[in-house]
Amino acid sequence: MSDVARYVQNEKGEVTSVTYPSGIEVKAVYGPEDLERIGFDYEQDLGAPGTYPFTRNNFPLGYRSREWTTRQYAGFGTPKETNERWHMLLSAGQTGLNVAFDLPTQMGLDSDDPRAAGEVGRVGMAIDSLRDFEIAFEGIDMHRVGTGLTINAVASIMMAMYEAVAEKYGFDTGKISCTPQNDIIKEVLGRGAWIYDLDSAVRLIGDTIEYAITAQPRTYPTSICGYHIRESGANSAQEMAYAFLIANTYIDEVVKRGYDAKDFAGRISYNLNIYGNLWEQVAKFRAGRKVWARNLKERYGVEKRSDLMLKGLFAGGGSGLMKAEPENNIMRGAFYGLAAALSGAQSTALCSFDEAYSIPSPRAALLSLRTLQIIMDEVGLRDTVDPLAGSYFIETITKEMEEKILGEMKEIEDRGGMLENVKNGYVGRKLSRQAYEWEIGIERGELIKVGVNKYATAREEEVELHEYNESWQDTQIANLKEVRRTRDDKQVAERLKALTDVARSGKNVMSALKDACLAYCTVGEMSDVFLEVFGPYKEPNVV
């Protein structure tokens, strides 16, 4: 795996071969004969924008009819600090929220848990109870602003809490829109922030999807995160293939409950990665829209046009950023944003230039937002839909990328499916090996990173970083103690018992979770109920 193409040169310095990380071999020149070679068919492989299989764009007029949604990842410290950052970004023209939670919250720990020490508010916002959501969402128009909740193991809790805070502020919960990441399979593969037994964790995702069908009709209850799979070693074709297979796993979980995929599959979204070679990324997304649409139509019988679209966030990837000469990351981010635009991204965000070190400073976050706005409004990306369509090169590698994605999907399906191959460690071992090979390639200079292993300088650059404030932990713990002091302890006990009973019964937990949130049960208390009932996840050996 690599984030850049492999180039072979002769003694004259001429490039004799180019191979993309996905395995696509690139010719020096393309022509009509290449489209004939791959069996290119205009209607089946391309078609008009906004029509099945959506290769060119989800919408007939692309960015002429609607700008992409900008959702810079933001959250740190206490809910108060995070609320201030959100208002800053929204006032600067950002059109959606993408919430960062701290590691204790992601792991279902309250801020006063000894295991949370030193991590409270460090890499995201600390959330202990509904009181924290009330502070974080103060002044946010939850009817107008959609919110991504980047959390997985306890995503069901956060989705219930989001609905509860909307009720508290008087919003119609039928009109709110949230997108919890809620993808535990990729968490096992990509980040390790898992808590519960995997089968039970998949069941919780099924509960959120089932609940959203009626209770939150504008919510996208899971956002399949190919992004983190790619960050963990996958190439572009594997990122898409594994993400689609994970989505199928969650669809199957809900279908076996008696639902038709037509009832909910259109509200599965994606968080997908952009870094490295521009052309490969464009081909990945164009091919990905086609594969996903056909997957839903041919496997599950989904027919509605809007349900067949590949929806979600195409985001500039963190693995493309380097600590060396960090301001180079500003240019990298701009090209990742360009790739998103040329790919027809519906929603996008960029990692900020200082994220190779820490979470973004206000200046860096604003620069990333401005980069996306300049790409949209100044350089002509709204002029025409899919401006690369018809290129012999782009159409050829898009078709080849489609075949690579389908080949990766077939390999896993032939071995028993995604869930089985995550449990037995096969996919994890594969990604770990590829990630290792990428690091070795960077060290040896085989994979070029400008300013790192080519044109590198010895100078050190000063970067004004976001600083962690130790007092955030003290403030958060004090607020948590106040919640515990003022809440109704009898009601808390009753709601936690009700949650336990529902979890043991196998019924949908979402209504009980919402009731527990409204009683100011803490994230740790609700998570512990699930841990007791479901048991912990047992990690396979991936060495």
CA distances from 230 to 1, 78, 424 (A): 9, 30, 20
Residues 6+ apart with CB under 8 A from 293: 52, 53, 54, 308, 309, 310
Instruction: Give residue for tokens 């594997």.
Output: 238
**In a 10 Å sphere around its CB, with 0-12 CB exposed, 13-18 middle and 19+ buried, how is residue 440 labelled?**
exposed
Backbone angles phi, psi at 99, to 5 degrees: -85, 125
Tens-place pLDDT, residues 220-271: 999 999 999 999 999 999 999 999 999 999 999 999 999 999 999 999 999 9
CB 355 within 8 A of CB 321: yes
Closest to 184 in 3D by CA, of 145, 154, 143: 154
How many alpha carbons lie under 13 Å from residue 234 in its C-beta half-sphere? Answer: 28
Mean pLDDT of the 449-458 span: 83
Strand-pairing partners, residue 348, are 70, 314
CB 542 within 8 A of CB 430: no
Collapse the DSSP code of 379 into the 3-class scheme (helix H, G, I; strand E, B; otherwise coil) and give the result: coil
Higher pLDDT, 158 or 363: 158
CA distances from 2 to 285, 286, 288, 540, 542 (A): 18, 20, 19, 25, 20
What tokens were used for 505? 């019964």
Tens-place pLDDT, residues 69-118: 888 888 999 999 999 999 999 999 998 999 999 999 999 999 999 999 99
Write down the mean pLDDT value for the chain: 94
According to the model, what pLDDT value does residue 493 have? 98
What tokens were used for 74? 């933001």
According to the model, what pLDDT value does residue 180 have? 97
Closest to 376 in 3D by CA, of 153, 187, 50, 93: 93
Closest to 379 in 3D by CA, of 338, 348, 346: 338
What is the pTM (predicted TM-score) of this model?
A: 0.95
CB 346 within 8 A of CB 289: no
What is the DSSP code (8-state) at residue 115? G
Residues 6+ apart with CB under 8 A from 146: 69, 96, 97, 177, 178, 179
Higher pLDDT, 15 or 523: 523
Domains parsed from the chain with CATH numbers: 6-55+66-444 (3.20.20.240)
CB 94 within 8 A of CB 68: no
According to the model, what pLDDT value does residue 7 have? 82
Amino acid at residue number 346 = Q
According to the model, what pLDDT value does residue 353 have? 92
CB 496 within 8 A of CB 516: yes
Model confidence band, residue 540 (pLDDT cutoffs 50, 70, 90): confident
CB 286 within 8 A of CB 343: yes
Question: By percentage, how much of the chain surpasses pLDDT 70?
Answer: 99
What tokens were used for 423? 């449990």
Amino acid at residue number 510 = M
Helical pair 278-294 and 236-255, crossing angle rounded to 10 deg: 20
Backbone angles phi, psi at 54, to 5 degrees: 65, 25
Q: Given a cut of 90, is residue 445 above it in pLDDT?
A: no
Collapse the DSSP code of 269 into the 3-class scheme (helix H, G, I; strand E, B; otherwise coil) and give the result: strand
Mean pLDDT of the 281-289 span: 98
